[in-house]
């Protein structure tokens, strides 16, 4: 199975920009920082036909810090992988459903036993712009195009976006590795 990916980090919880971070999960490597990493990662990437076929994508979670959002691409789509802080988990569990535009309990946004991890598509459900992480009023994302806001588990909290950020199929094979594109269990009920 083609299981290598390259990812880059976005802002941390305090809103500061981190250096780019490249992850090569197939080889179990975390290759830190710098343009020189690109040729190496690119050489390990699945071939175009495999990518087009939608090969599952392994993501090594071990380098991801609390509060960090990592962007990956699967089937040409942007995916957010976010490690929630304990505070964010507590806060997101406490949001009343009647405050939501597209009501969804916390348990429907994460996998049972992996409360700290959000995996969602990364395009605004209004017209497809890419929301900015750690922005807005809900510990999540703010869309720069028309002002939609999403919370830390990708639930839309301010329109015009009509629905939450969708969740792709994914599964955890361990506490430090997930595979996007693999149906290995469903979101916690």
Catalytic residue among 8, 114, 134, 146: 146
Q: Do residues 58 and 177 lie in contact, with contact meaning Cβ atoms separated by under 8 Å?
A: yes
CB of 180 to ligand FES, least distance (A): 23
Residue 87 or 146: which CB sits closer to ligand FES? 146
Q: How far apart are CA 75 and CA 77, in angstroms?
A: 5
Where does this chain bind ligand FES (CB under 6 A)?
A: 124, 126-129, 143, 145-148, 160-161
Q: Pick the closer one to ligand FES by CB: 112 or 127.
A: 127
- Strands (E) in the chain, as ranges, are 8-9, 21-24, 29-32, 57-60, 69-74, 77-83, 117-121, 132-135, 140-142, 149-150, 156-158, 170-174, 177-180
Instruction: Give the strand pairing for 69-74 and 149-150.
Output: unpaired
Q: How far is the CB of 71 from ligand FES (least distance, A)?
A: 17
Tell me whether residue 146 is one of the annotated catalytic residues.
yes
In angstroms, what is the minimal distance from the CB of 125 to ligand FES? 8
For the chain, state the CA radius of gyration. Answer: 16
Closer residue to ligand FES (CB): 24 or 79: 79
Q: Which two tokens stand for residue 131?
A: 């929301």
Nearer to ligand FES by C-beta: 23 or 143? 143
Both tokens assigned to 21: 């971070």
For residue 6, the minimal CB distance to ligand FES (Å) is 26
As a whole number of angstroms, the distance between CA 41 and CA 22 comes to: 8
Catalytic residues: 146
């Amino acid at each position: 199975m083609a299981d290598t990916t390259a990812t880059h980090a976005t802002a941390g919880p305090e809103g500061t920009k981190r250096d780019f971070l490249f992850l090569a999960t197939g080889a179990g490597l975390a290759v830190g920082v710098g343009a020189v990493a690109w040729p190496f990662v690119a050489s390990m990437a699945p071939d175009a036909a495999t990518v087009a076929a939608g090969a599952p994508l392994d993501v090594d979670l071990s380098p991801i810090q609390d509060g960090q959002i990592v962007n990956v691409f699967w089937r040409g789509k942007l995916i957010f992988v976010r490690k929630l802080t304990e505070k964010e988990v507590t806060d997101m569990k406490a949001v009343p459903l009647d405050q939501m535009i597209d009501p969804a309990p916390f348990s429907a946004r994460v996998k049972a036993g992996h409360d700290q991890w959000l995996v969602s598509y990364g395009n605004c459900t209004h017209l497809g712009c890419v929301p900015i992480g750690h922005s807005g009023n809900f510990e999540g994302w703010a869309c720069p195009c028309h002002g939609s806001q999403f919370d830390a588990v990708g639930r839309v909290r301010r329109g015009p976006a009509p629905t939450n950020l969708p969740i792709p199929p994914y599964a955890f094979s361990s506490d430090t590795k997930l595979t996007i594109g693999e149906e290995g269990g469903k979101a916690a009920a």
